[in-house]
Amino acid sequence: MTENRTSSALPLPDTRGPVLRPGDSGYDEARQGFQTAYAHRPALTVGAENADDVRAAVRYAGAHGLRVAVQSTGHGLAAAAGDDALLVATGRMKGLRIDPAARTARAEAGVTWAEVIAAAAGHGLAPLNGSAPGVGVVGYLTGGGLGILGRRFGYAADHVRSFDLVTADGALRHVTADTGPELFWALRGGGGGLGVVTAVEFDLVPLAEVYGGVLAFADEQVPGALAAYLTWTEGLPEELTSSVALMTWPDAPFAPEAYRGRYVLAVRVAYTGSASEGARLVAPLRELGPMADDLRVMPYAESHTIHSDPPYPHPYDGDNALVTSVPGAALGALTGESARAGAVVQIKHLGGALGREPEVPNAVGFRGARYLVTVLSALFELDRSGARALHAQVLAPLAEVRLGRNLNHLFGEHEELAVRDAYEPSALRKLGAVRAACDPAGMFAAGSC
């Protein structure tokens, strides 16, 4: 990279969207996303309104020795942009087109899953979104995309058809399995750092309804319910995707009244078959006597209620482990006093289509994992170092069954070693080669997409 020469005397990029320097009105709002623990502090922020704005921003960065980082919603924020960087904020790029005949969607870089869900629902279709509808489409797909229907349909990245990508030379490329097979492989699950995605086309599935919701167990029920859940997952069809979340709920008005001040295990279920068969499958858990049960047939547009992830920006940090099993010896750490007091522990059941390679391979790895165990802490009472010490303690008993990490569930800035741990060695080598070919000067920050 050339020397950073971003003085106020330099001309700004010629863009339709706003270009903001530190101190400008709107600069702080433009650099802040959903994840408030790790803020971008770039030399410049370009509020891109179209692909031409992105091209102009990348060319400007190349001319003036700036690195490039990207943010749409800022849920992940794998690498914060510092004062040697230009931040491309893509939240204004809201183009979205549904093709009901082809069962596809084309979304620009600022589109969120909530917008895709709503647009697809009118055609009896659904995307392979994750649990939080406010997450940006592009960052989720480039990280792999572990969705609420994953066991039935696989990773969302498996269903991407094309990307429009601005590369380090400022060119806009249409990347498919035919036009750029190596780059297409890397963009689907490789975590970004390859350019700025301006649009993506992906498959939708014919699904108007889902049988789903939550079975909740509290306090003294939790240890037995967790053991029963793990046993229950061993015999499920792949049409049923589920997870558990364990947390101590605050005694606060925003918490469901039955949960306030209690330690709760919530089993989250999404089943694509009939309601009668779904009820039969969950019967072993219902026999345990949950303190809450809202399983029902719901329009897919209401599927966000299965997880009810917090919709408001807040500071948090988290780590995870992809594992081949959750041994009984680990249950004490996952439900112990330290975890109860300072973390949300989630266990996602994998397998099914998540365990199979797609017809066109991609960078998503560790498909032999049977569960993803995630530990997340809000950074209100805990600081980052305290949270990470807690996460290491909770995940330590899983060391012998651990394969690696899931990129989309690394919450917050993590050192390079942790990010590299999201890939198998052969995939990591291939990703390095693709990055070196398309961004030889290292313009793009890791996680940029």
CB atoms inside a 10 Å sphere around CB 337: 9
Cα–Cα separations (whole angstroms), residue 193 to 89, 108, 117, 351, 369: 15, 18, 27, 28, 25
Please report the pLDDT score of residue 80 as a whole number. Answer: 62
Measured in degrees and rounded to the nearest 5, phi and psi for residue 98 equal -105, 130
375: pLDDT strictly greater than 90: yes
Helix (H, G, I), strand (E, B) or coil at 311: coil
**Per residue in 42-89, pLDDT tens?**
999 999 999 999 999 999 999 999 999 998 887 766 556 677 899 999
User: Mean pLDDT in the chain?
Assistant: 93
- Exposed/middle/buried for 145, CB within 10 Å: 0-12, 13-18, 19+? buried
Which pairing describes strands 240-248 and 205-206: parallel, antiparallel, or unpaired? unpaired
Rounded alpha-carbon distances, angstroms, from residue 399 to 162, 293, 405: 37, 34, 12
Task: Say what the pLDDT of residue 447 is.
Answer: 57
pTM of the model: 0.95
pLDDT tens digit sequence for 152-184: 999 999 999 999 999 999 999 999 999 999 999
Q: What are residue 418's phi and psi, to 5 degrees?
A: -65, -40
What is the pLDDT at residue 79? 59
Three-state secondary structure call for residue 427: helix
Strand, coil or helix: what is 8?
A: coil
The number of beta carbons lying within 10 Å of the beta carbon of residue 258 is 12
Q: pLDDT tens across 250-281, in order? A: 998 888 899 999 999 999 999 999 999 999 99
Separation between Cα atoms, residue 51 and residue 219, nearest integer Å: 52
Q: How high is the pLDDT of residue 40? A: 82
- Note the pLDDT of residue 9: 52
* pLDDT at residue 100 is higher than 90: yes
pLDDT score for 5: 44
Length of the chain: 449
Burial class (CB in 10 A: 0-12, 13-18, 19+), 131: buried
